[in-house]
Amino acid sequence: MAGKTHRIAVLPGDGTGPEVTAEAVKVLKAAADKFGFELDMETFDWDGTRYLNTGEVLPESAADTLKKFDAILLGAIGHPDVKPGILEKGILLKLRFELDQYINLRPVKLFPGVETPLAGKTPKDIDYLVVRENTGGLYTGIGGFTMKGTKGEVAVQSMVYNRVQVERCLRYAFEQAMKRHTADTPWKGLSEKDKAAGKIGQLTLCGKTNVLTYVYDLWDRAFYEIAEDYPQVKTDYCHVDATCMWMVKNPEWFDVIVTGNMFGDIITDLGAMTQGGMGIAAGGNINPNGVSMFEPIGGSAPKYTGMGVINPMAAICSGAMLLDEVGESEAAKAVETAVAKVTGSKLKSMAAGKMGYSTSEVGDLVVESL
């Protein structure tokens, strides 16, 4: 019996993006063989090199083209010869906005065998999910200069949120907190009292209600209103600065964190370091009703281009998230398990050039253990 066919657009991107993407594709294909579904993949060269050659950042029809796919796999965007901001805004942010990928889902998970800089912490302590709002806040580009270039110049950049954006993000986060646990296997961070009260998971709102008294006041009010629809989720609030502190000192206090775009960007780099670095940190730009785009949370690491030393695990884990999103959750879990086996028994380090294997050998190891 032939399984479903999933149409995947592949954007390998710049620098080491193509190398890590090739390994993710290799693993996705192996998963398709094993679990009996088809992958119909098409590759697009929308990257910095194409921009340097053509002067066009992204074809006008790019978003419409991508809407015809079931999911997108992205390597990394960022070319050393292109001024910062052009590709980021013109490709990555443009696609996030035009495809309305309003969630950036970033698991912070320490795999077995991976070294964390947090002394004494083990995989059971570092296993939470950050739900970053992905199309609003400081990223909307609202702002401007006056008297640019003079001594008196003024720059303004606004943190903009409307109620709808905040609510849809919060609801998604509450759903994630429900999805991670069951009444029989509640989140281990809950107290006996919480469990007796019927809680199964926790959602922490990360904000700054003491200073950003408009934007995070809106988030805060919406959070507690929506919480009433999710009585099984324990609510928790943390200012963003304190969130950083606890992510380092007591990461086991977190189950799911939800936050705005800018805070989410910052805390997920911190989270990535605690789970072993950019080599293993995966993410997904999600439109729950449309096409989602999966990418390692790190950049294109151009200095390692073509050397075969970059760690493809972040791309492979992003591929696992893609499988989950297109409905192949069994395959997604199997890829995660295979990654855990390889990190737990083979890789010496997550750092580029220190894995003990080349980029493509790491992909092969994951395929073998799958």
Nearer to Mn ion, 48 or 283 (CB): 283
Contact present, 190 and 202 (Cβ < 8 Å): yes
Q: Is 133 in the site for Mn ion (CB under 5 A)?
A: no
Give the largest CA-CA distance in the chain. 71
Query: Are 251 and 108 spatial neighbours (Cβ–Cβ below 8 Å)?
Result: yes
Closer to Mn ion by Cβ: residue 165 or 285? 285
Closest contact distance (angstroms) between CB of 298 and Mn ion is: 9
Which of the choices Mn ion, ligand IPM, none does residue 315 contact, using the CB cut-off of 5 to 8 A by kind? none
Range 105-124, binding Mn ion (CB under 5 A)? none
Report in angstroms how near the CB of residue 130 gets to ligand IPM at its nearest.
Answer: 11
Binding site partner of 92, from ligand IPM, Mn ion, none, Cβ cut-off 5-8 A by kind: ligand IPM
Phi and psi angles of residue 100, each rounded to the nearest 5 degrees, phi first: 50, 45
Q: Is 265 in the site for Mn ion (CB under 5 A)?
A: yes
Q: From CA 253, how far away is CA 81, in angstroms rounded?
A: 42
Query: What CA–CA distances, in Å, run from 73 to 3, 25, 346?
Result: 21, 9, 26
62 is an interface residue for ligand IPM by CB under 6 A = no
Nearest to 140 by CA among 126, 157, 121: 157
14 Rama sector, left if φ>0, alpha if ψ -120 to 50, beta otherwise = beta
Q: What is d(CA 137, CA 141) in angstroms, rounded to the nearest whole number?
A: 9
Structure tokens at 226: 């929506």
Which two structure tokens, joined as six digits, stand for 228? Answer: 């009433």
The answer to whether 92 contacts ligand IPM (rule: CB under 6 A) is yes
Q: What angle do CA 23, 179, 341 make, to 5 degrees?
A: 35
Residues between 27 and 46 with contacts to Mn ion, criterion CB under 5 A? none
For Mn ion, how many residues bind (rule: CB under 5 A)?
1
Burial class (CB in 10 A: 0-12, 13-18, 19+), 243: buried
C-beta of 162: minimal distance to ligand IPM in Å? 20
- Please report whether residue 88 would count as binding ligand IPM according to CB under 6 A: yes
> In the bound complex, what is the minimum distance in angstroms from residue 29's beta carbon to ligand IPM?
26
Q: Answer yes or no whether residue 20 interacts with ligand IPM by CB under 6 A.
A: no
Q: Among 31, 291, 297, 335, which residue sits at the site for ligand IPM (rule: CB under 6 A)? A: 297
- Tell me the closest approach of the beta carbon of residue 106 to ligand IPM, in angstroms: 8
The helix (run of H) or strand (run of E) holding residue 143 is: strand 143-146
Q: How far apart are CA 231 and CA 11, in angstroms?
A: 41
Binding-site partner at residue 28 among ligand IPM, Mn ion, none, CB < 5 to 8 Å by type: none
Looking only at residues 256 through 295 of this chain, which bind ligand IPM when binding is defined by CB under 6 A? 265
Nearest residue to ligand IPM on Cβ basis: 88
Determine if 93 is a binding residue for ligand IPM (CB under 6 A): yes
Which residues of the chain form contacts with ligand IPM (CB under 6 A)?
Answer: 88, 92-93, 265, 297
